[in-house]
């Protein structure tokens, strides 16, 4: 697809998105009941016990983000390992191995930084 087609698609998608947002605002109604009871937390018929100001430890979020990050890196390694023999047969084995070496070096540096900064220690 030439560059003009890409620009056309970008403009079309932007305009289409803006039109959809305006249509949703125009067609959708306003909230009828804006009372305090309507805005209150409600779970399974039992009024909420926690206040809105309750704090959740950042460690939970950090653990989840680090898990996702390292999990995605492992997922990138799997197809490389499956197709590495094909690259060796085509003569590109050294280049592909060196690029994966750089990837693994970045991975190991990230893991080293995570351990060094004590990101997963629960004090």
Encode pLDDT of 2-40 as tens digits.
788 889 999 999 999 999 999 988 888 776 667 776 666
Query: Architecture of 3-116 per CATH?
Result: Up-down Bundle (1.20)
Domain chopping of the chain, boundaries: 3-116
Rounded to a whole number, what is the distance in angstroms from the first to the last CA of the chain?
Answer: 54
For the cut 70, the answer to whether the pLDDT of residue 52 exceeds it is no
* 59-114 confidence digits (pLDDT tens): 788 888 888 888 888 888 888 889 888 989 998 889 989 999 998 998 899 888 88
Give the Cα separation of 74 and 47 in Å (integer). Answer: 43
Give the Cα separation of 100 and 57 in Å (integer). Answer: 35
The distance from CA 109 to its chain's CA centroid, rounded to whole angstroms, is 21
């Amino acid at each position: 697809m030439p560059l003009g087609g890409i620009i056309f698609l970008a403009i079309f998608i932007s305009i289409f998105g803006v039109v959809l947002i305006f249509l949703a605002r125009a067609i959708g109604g306003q909230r009828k009941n804006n009372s305090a009871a309507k805005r209150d937390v409600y779970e399974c018929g039992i009024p909420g016990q926690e206040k809105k100001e309750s704090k959740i430890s950042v460690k939970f979020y950090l653990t989840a983000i680090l898990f996702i990050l390292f999990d995605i890196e492992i997922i990138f390694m799997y197809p490389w390992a499956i197709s590495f023999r094909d690259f060796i047969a085509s003569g590109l084995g050294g280049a592909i191995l060196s690029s994966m070496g750089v990837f693994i070096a970045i991975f190991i540096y990230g893991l080293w930084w995570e351990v060094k900064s004590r990101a997963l220690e629960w004090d």
